[in-house]
Amino acid sequence: MQWIEKLRALAADADFRQGARDMASPSLGLAAWGLVAGVTMVKGGLSIPQAMGMSLLVFAGSAQLSAVPLIAAGAPLWVLLATAFCVNLRFVIFSAQWRHYFGHLPRLRRLMTTYFAADLNFAYFVKRYPGAAPSAGQQRYFWGGVAVNWPMWQVCSFTGILLAERIPPHWGIGFAGVLALLGISYSLLTERTLWWVAVTAGAVSVATYSLPLKLNILCAIVAAGAVGWWLDARKAQQQRKARA
């Protein structure tokens, strides 16, 4: 069939294969994080169908793990929505950058791309293509990363969902997931601004930990976003002065 031939050609493409290879390097950490997300959703009170649906529809581990404790605590809907919105605010920044590469694509294809776009996809993509302009091979490289990232997350998340009641607490899988996330986060800290953002988020989250309904997460996100915005604005201003 024609679509099978297209898939074979895509799998043999050098850019597609490079995207898959790059995404394979952090796959163990991603697998652990997906497993933790699956277990947490079920332990947090979601049924197996609800947890599976959330994994497929949301496809955002940080938002999922932020929402589950709020659902279990009976938090108001506005708090749940505000938390998920704030946790995913980084994707607004990512999308603004993706626009330089994929803004010329048809709307339907852009919408499909936004569903599969994730933190690691963004980090490896901009590292390979630092120039914010479309060029040959970019889409194939992106989908090569997706071919590893999305199935890995869903398989491990579903495994955690199905085995949640059989995994004893003393295994410390939650802590293993935290360590995996820290490892992934560390790999993304490639410049001074990102380090300041990460330190700010951690410090504010700890300082406001006593707030109810996990509102310390919102505080950390707002503070880190403000610091990142201020540092980027300051850097842009310095660059304009240097050019002048």
Query: CA 205 → CA 101, 116, 214, 224, 237, distances in Å?
Result: 34, 28, 9, 10, 29
Place of tokens 């002065």: 241
Question: Helix axis angle, 27-43 relative to 48-58, nearest 10°?
Answer: 140
Residue 167 has pLDDT above 90, yes or no: no
Cα–Cα distance, 58 to 68 (Å, whole number) = 12
Q: How confident is the model at residue 53 (pLDDT cuts 50, 70, 90)?
A: very high
pLDDT interval class at 176 (50, 70, 90): low
Region of poorest pLDDT, from 125-129, 176-180, 239-243: 176-180
Q: Other C-beta atoms within 10 Å of 2: how many?
A: 6
pLDDT reported for residue 169: 63
Give the model's pLDDT for residue 26.
Answer: 80
pLDDT higher for 2 or 34?
34
Most confident of 3-12, 80-89, 120-129, 183-192: 120-129
Q: For residue 143, what pLDDT is reported? A: 94
Q: Could you report the per-residue pLDDT of 87-127, keeping only the tens digit for each?
A: 787 787 788 888 889 988 999 999 999 999 888 888 889 88
Q: State pTM to two decimals.
A: 0.75
pLDDT of 25 strictly over 70: yes
Average pLDDT score over the chain: 83
Q: Distance (Å, rounded) from C-alpha 66 to C-alpha 205?
A: 13
- Asked if 175 and 199 touch (Cβ cutoff 8 Å), the reply is no
How sure is the predictor about 16, in pLDDT bands with cuts at 50, 70 and 90?
very high
214/109: higher pLDDT? 109
Residue 2 has pLDDT above 80, yes or no: no
Q: What is the DSSP string of the chain?
A: -HHHHHHHHHHH-HHHHHHHHHHHTTHHHHHHHHHHHHHHHHHTT--HHHHHHHHHHH--HHHHHHHHHHHHTT--HHHHHHHHHHHTTHHHHHHHHHHHHHTTS-HHHHHHHHHH--HHHHHHHHHH--SSS--TTHHHHHHHHHHHHHHHHHHHHHHHHHHGGGS-GGG-HHHHHHHHHHHHHHHH--SHHHHHHHHHHHHHHHHTTTSGGGHHHHHHHHHHHHHHHHHHHHHHHHHHHHH-
Q: Is the pLDDT assigned to residue 244 strictly greater than 90?
A: no
